């Protein structure tokens, strides 16, 4: 989360990605030879507001009681 927060602070868009084949990515990047392995991808960039059809839509925030079930 620190990288996402710092990117936002710098005005850069980012989003963490899971669900990729880390074995293939590790092989492509030669990470195992460096005693490393991938766990998450973090694309960084700038949005294209002129082509982003979602940019002017009203954001919808659901109340917490609709999103979270508390188990006692």
Please tell me the pTM assigned to this model: 0.57
* Terminal Cα distance for the chain, rounded: 29
Q: Which position has the higher pLDDT, 32 or 1?
A: 32
Q: Report which of 55, 37, 57, 58 is spatially closest to residue 46, judged by C-alpha positions.
A: 55
The ranges assigned to domains in the chain are 2-67
Q: How many residues would you count in the chain?
A: 72
Copy the structure tokens of residue 42: 């973090």
Q: DSSP state, 40?
A: -
Q: Compute CA distances 40 → 10, 27, 69, whole Å.
A: 21, 15, 28
> With pLDDT > 90 as the criterion, what percentage of the chain qualifies?
56
């Amino acid at each position: 989360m620190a990288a996402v927060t710092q990117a936002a602070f710098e005005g850069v868009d980012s989003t963490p990605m899971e669900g990729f084949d880390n074995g293939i990515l590790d092989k492509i990047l030669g990470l195992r030879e460096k005693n490393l392995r991938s766990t998450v991808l973090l694309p960084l960039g700038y949005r294209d507001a002129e082509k982003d059809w979602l940019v002017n839509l009203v954001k919808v925030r659901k109340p917490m009681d609709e999103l979270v079930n508390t188990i006692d």
